[in-house]
Structure 1
Amino acid sequence: MLLTDEEEAGGAVTAVWRGDPPVVPPRRRRKGARKRRWVLPVLLAAAVIAVFLVLGVLPEQAAAKVTEVTVRAEPTEVGCNGTAEVVATARTNGAPGMIRYRWLRSDGTVSGELTQSVSAHQTEARLVLRWTFNGRGTQRARAVVDILSPTPHTASAAFTYRCR
């Protein structure tokens, strides 16, 4: 004969009242409990692995880096009241990010900090300086690009302004 939970509880209370040791009913297992026992540890292990992948591997791969910088000036000789276009080519590792840089001119002018964004798989960024000259005379000019981050680099190009 099977007893209900209430009847089993009543029998246990009566046994304790009489001084008998308490009767603990056997635990009933639900069907499928053994099969579901592995789910929580597997989910927990997957979560830990995911955290390690995101924190440990992805930042290394996702960080933009400048690998090389070259600078050229066009034209190499600027005529009266002309403008030179100085172009720095920053080669990157192809990861997305921001390049922080500034231009320093031989006349003492500093551009201040500038930024250029690079998208994923973009391996080059063009950083342009336009330098305009006025008046008569000859001047040897130099423009320096100073990459501040993510990877510091410096490069320069020279040209001549000539107006008679």
Structure 2
Amino acid sequence: MAITFRALTDHEPGIIVRLLSDAYAFDPRYQELHGASWQDSDDFFFAHPQIADACCFVTADGDEPIGVVMWDPRQLPESVEIGHNGIVATRKGSGYGRLQLLEALARIRSLGARRIVVTTDDGLVPAQRMYESAGFVRARVRRNDDPADFVDEHLDYVLDVAQR
């Protein structure tokens, strides 16, 4: 593993959409549900490069981009919310997602956040396990009543930085 964590702006626009589309390709409903949000994130970050490089990075194996993660620091110092986070399908199950998460956590901790929060869904069991293994605690389960959304429950996780 020659893993590096690179600035988003080292890449071309569209990288967020490309990486997340691949990461969630196992179920095309994720693209249908979140594709517009992925594009909004890509557009926002490439329009605001200083924010992009402070709140997002691309994980690479050699020269190959294999993942992306981003976070929202607007509630600092109380909390930071991890947003989109994914590893391409061919690299899942190899520990890359955990390495990416741990790098994101280190960067967020350096900002002085007291809590780090993330939301996943009931269908993403590997993501749930990864967050729990990194010290996150499930704080809330929210039933999803949106008929346009195939997800049954949203799971909110919290990492209390002050206690770690």
What TM-score bracket applies, with the shorter chain setting the length?
under 0.3
Which is higher, the Rg of structure 1 or of structure 2? 1
User: Whose helix fraction is larger, Structure 1's or Structure 2's?
Assistant: 2
User: TM-score, with normalisation over the residues of structure 2?
Assistant: 0.23
Q: Which has the higher contact order (CA 8 A, sep 6+)?
A: 1
User: Whose strand fraction is larger, Structure 1's or Structure 2's?
Assistant: 1
User: TM-score, with normalisation over the residues of structure 1?
Assistant: 0.23
